[in-house]
Structure 1
Amino acid sequence: MKSVKTMLKGLTHEELREWAGDRIFDRGRNYISRVSQLSRTEDGTLAAWVSGSDEYATTVRRDGREDFDYDCTCPYDDGPCKHAVAVLLAAAGQLNGGGAIPLLDPCADLALEMFGDPEDDEEWADAEEPDVESSSPEEAKGRLPRIESILAEKSREELVSLLAGLASDFPDVARRINETAQLETGQVGKIVCALKKEIRSLTAEDVWYNPWKSEGNLPDYSHVEQQLRALSDRGHADAVLELGEELWQRGNKQVECSHDEGDTAMKIAACLEIVLRALPSSSMPRVEQVQWLVDHELDDEYALLAGIDKLLNGPLYGETEWSKLAETLEVRLENRELPKSGSFSETYRRERVMRWLCHAYRRSGRQKKVLPLLEREADRCRSYETLVNALLEAGEPDRARQWCIRGFDRTIKDAPGIASALQKRLRQLAEE
């Protein structure tokens, strides 16, 4: 009991409010009456059930003098939750009232929910919930020595019978066994077909989440991510790319209509990160790979391809690939309709194509084509700052000054932000 008293000694409402924030603190205070089976572990961790829209298992432990380590089975993940605050306030109230906080029974439902089976880990009181999705097979294997020992004592026939029974009772086990067998034989057609179906089903879901009520609908992409990684590790890069394109096309539409504070976008991005890593190993020619990457980057409105710049800026693609891309982008830029006004919505897409064309010129050894391109597009895209920077890098301050003046005159009426930046740059040039 001493460690719990020490943890809560001197704790004030002001400190808790600063830790959790005003909104969460006030909501947690209203949940004190909903705390049940308040207990402690040997190391001073508080544990309890907190009822709300569901029953949530919550643990809190003070880390040092100010911070708290907390865990809760509720879906709230934007800092401390109201359930953790409620547990701390309930514990402080119980101790201040002269009550005792009992030791948590390691076999109680609360302990099993938060810490797992104590027989699997003698240090169950210090255990943390394992991150199953991010664990490697070696890490998962290391957490199950007792299971390994049990299985090692069984005969082949007993293991087959056990797995068959598990597959019969749990569809996910049956699916895992079938997928593993298909991967081992290299016959991945059925896996690709099944994953396409799963992707279409997931991306068809309505996505929403209400943090105030801790409810919503968030599609689970963990199996898709797991299988994409397995296919990539087994050398099936073309299959990964095919599935990635399916997810890209449908996932963008889902994210566009989602209301979940970006959770689904992050899950899709994690899947597409595997696709990006597999691309260089695919049968797609290098020239087409660069084109694929730039095309998708230009359409990436929701940052689903976060690692694409690193791949494009790496040493994988040389002058030949970038030269071919430059030719393609020249045609694309030439065929784009010229902006009728200087509004951001009209110039945004054209400027992005122009920037990639500049990059392609530089990477293909045609640096001399960059400035003429930027000068030609400056009035069309209002990309005066980009041009001025390029002129200064090229050692032409007089031309940079002229473009500052021209850009200022053409943007002062309806784009004062651009005009102000050019004016500032002009003053800097005058001082140099």
Structure 2
Amino acid sequence: MARQKKKTTKKQKSSDPFSKLTWEDLEEWAGNVIVGRGRPYQRNGAVENLARTKGGTLVAWVRGTRRYATSVRLTERNGLESACTCPYWATCKHAVAVVLEYLECLKTDSGVGEIDEDDPRLLKLEAIGDEGDEYEEFAEEEEEENVKVRSGRSKSKKSKAASLRPYLQEQTKAELVALVIELADAHDEVPQWLADRRALASGQTQKILQTIRREISALEEPVWDEYDNSPALNTDRLKAALKGLAQAGQADAAVRLGPELLATAHQALQYDSEGEFEAAFSDCLDVLFQVLEKSFLSPADQVEWVLDMALADEYGLCDAGLDQLWKRRYAKSDWSAVSDRLAQRIETSKDTKGELHYERDRLTDWLIRALEKAGRQDEIIPLCEREAPITFSYERLVDRLMAKRRWEEARR
């Protein structure tokens, strides 16, 4: 069995190449989007049992959709390199979280242990295969560059659209109608978009729902290009229809489509060799998270809906929605109701082979946050004490005890 040994000394810290990393270095390595996604993971304590190999490679468990083994190394020749057992394999938000956690350890002079070669995380990472690592690292780097470009284009489109407002306001009704017809003739998607808007305006909700479900079904197996190099995916109409549905007062109908859309995304992402589908599906799901508060679901039901989506999510598509959830200002009574529901789910949860009760552990983390927001802090340490021997989450318990200055109990 692998054992942690040795601690990072101040002398080692001064010569540690990681200590010289800047935020710009991280963004250059992983891209600003992935770095942004990795930061909440580190802040929320998703990085567990951080350690180093004899060669200086960082190794940790990172809690995401599942528990992933993640490693990061820094060399003068190649810079930052990473590997992860998540679906992206290499430069991912989990790797970013590991680096950020290590930098925090350096900042606070927290010791980081050294592991042996038979550490189970290293064995899991070896199973990925060097060839796969190199391919996925290249693929994700390309993905991040594409995301940067798309983000820049999106901002540019918004600013250009806003600049057209004065011109459009000067036009007569007849001139605007002529302009729209001209656009419809020039762009195939415009007539369909207008038809959707007309259907919503006339109350034909079922017709739009049928259209949305057809769009979702069509996305399950994307259309390949003429050279069979990579499949094409266009979610523009779907996103517009979901927004239109919510604007027409049908937020409930839009929200009910969430699990169906997420399942389709998981299927489609199996065909995604270029890393472009994740952002497209995330954008569509973000529409649902944004309109959730307009639905008729109670606040507690809204929270549970987001958590269920996050539990079912295999690719981090719901990360933004989950992050938004904890920022919402629900009443303490609502968070208290959520706490009771989560406690019941934990009580009835079943073991998951090979994952060390991962789902139960994640539910417990969420319950702790809900208890904090409900003002029921006194229940947190007893909860951690009950869960520690079940999910081996002793580190969480110790952290909570130390935060309360219960030193003797923390040392046991």
Indicate whether 1:276 and 2:293 are aligned. no
Partner residue in 2 for 1:135: 157
In 2, Cα distance between equivalents of 1:238 and 1:153? 34
CA distance in structure 1 between the aligned counterparts of 2:248 and 2:334, rounded to whole angstroms: 27
| Residue 226, structure 1, aligned to residue 240, structure 2 | yes
Structure 1 243/332 Cα, relative in aligned 2: closer, same or farther at 3 Å? closer
In 2, the alpha carbon distance for the partners of 1:144 and 1:367 equals 51
Instruction: Return the alpha-carbon distance in structure 2 between the equivalents of residues 148 and 308 of structure 1.
Output: 36
**Aligned partners of 2:386, 2:258: CA distance in 1, in Å?**
37
In structure 2, what is the Cα distance between the partners aligned to 1:322 and 1:392? 25
Q: Where does residue 291 of structure 1 map in the other structure?
A: 304
The 3 A distance-change label for structure 1 pair 334 and 132 is: closer
Q: Distance in 2 between matches of 1:145 and 1:362?
A: 49
In the other structure, the counterpart of 2:207 is 190
- Is residue 2:410 matched to residue 1:389? no
Residue 234 of structure 1 and its aligned partner are, at CA, apart by 4.3
- Whether the 8 Å CA contact 2:212–2:242 is kept in 1: the answer is no
The one of 211, 219, 237 equivalent to 2:251 is 237
Greater relative contact order (Cα < 8 A, sep 6+): 2
Task: Give the corresponding residue for 1:324.
Answer: 337
CA distance in 2, matches of 1:155, 1:277: 35
Aligned length: 266
Which has the larger displacement, 239-248 or 289-298? 239-248
Tell me which amino acid in the other structure corresponds to 1:366. Answer: R
Alignment of 1:352 onto 2:365: no
How much has 1:139 moved relative to structure 2?
A: 3.4
SS of structure 1 residue aligned to 2:230? strand
How far did 1:254 drift? Answer: 2.6
Shift of 1:135: 3.1
In structure 1, the gaps of 5 or more residues are: 1-75, 81-129, 403-432
Secondary structure at the residue paired with 1:294? helix
CA, structure 1 residues 274+323, in 2 after alignment: closer, same or farther (shift >3 Å)?
same
Distance 1:387 1:310, change over 3 A: same
Task: Tell me how far apart the structure 1 counterparts of residues 395 and 154 of structure 2 sit (CA, whole Å).
Answer: 48
Inter-partner Cα distance in structure 1 for 2:145 and 2:231: 20
2:208 corresponds to 1:177: no
Q: Which amino acid aligns with 1:374?
A: C
Shift of the alpha carbon at 1:230?
Answer: 3.2
Q: 1:132 to 1:155 in 2, by over 3 A?
A: same
* TM-score of the aligned structures, taking structure 2 as reference length: 0.55
Kindly provide the CA deviation profile for residues 76-110 of structure 1, in whole angstroms up to 9, marking residues without a partner as x: 77659xxxxxxxxxxxxxxxxxxxxxxxxxxxxxx
Is the Cα contact below 8 Å between 1:361 and 1:370 reproduced in 2?
A: yes
Deviation at 1:308, TM superposition (A): 2.4
Is 1:264 the counterpart of 2:277? The answer is yes
Residue of structure 2 equivalent to 1:313? 326
Deviations, residues 54-84 of structure 1 (Å, cap 9, x unaligned) = xxxxxxxxxxxxxxxxxxxxxx77659xxxx
Q: Given the alignment, which residue of 340, 363, 366 partners 2:373?
A: 363
Change (3 A) 1:228 1:366: same
The one of 254, 266, 269 equivalent to 1:252 is 266
1:215: which partner in 2?
229
Output the CA distance in 1 between the equivalents of 2:314 and 2:231: 23
The aligned counterpart of 1:423 is: none
Alignment of 1:110-125 (within 5 A): none
> C-alpha distance in 2, partners of 1:245/1:294?
12
- Partner SS for 2:319: coil
5 Å-filtered alignment, 1:14-163, equals: 131=153, 135-136=157-158, 139-140=160-161, 142=163, 159=178, 163=181
Q: 1:363 to 1:378 in 2, by over 3 A?
A: same
Letter in structure 2 aligned against 1:224 = L
The letter of the residue matching 1:222 is D
1:177-205 deviations in Å (ceiling 9; x for gaps) = 21222233343321221011011111233
Instruction: Determine which of 378, 387, 410 is the counterpart of 1:400.
Output: 410
| Larger CA deviation: 345-354 vs 330-339 | 330-339
- Aligned-pair Cα RMSD in Å: 3.7
Q: Distance in 2 between matches of 1:184 and 1:339?
A: 48
Equivalent residue number for residue 29 of structure 1? none
Q: Could you tell me whether the CA contact under 8 Å between 1:338 and 1:380 is conserved in 2? A: no
Distance 1:169 1:234 in 2: 28
Separation in structure 2 between the aligned mates of residue 239 and residue 268 of structure 1, nearest angstrom: 18
Aligned equivalents of 1:222, 1:134: Cα separation in 2: 17
Identity %: 26
CA shift for structure 1 position 152: 5.2
TM-score (norm 1): 0.53
Take 2:143 and 2:400, find their aligned partners in 1: how far apart are those partners? 44
Distance (whole Å) between structure 2 residues aligned to residue 383 and residue 169 of structure 1: 60
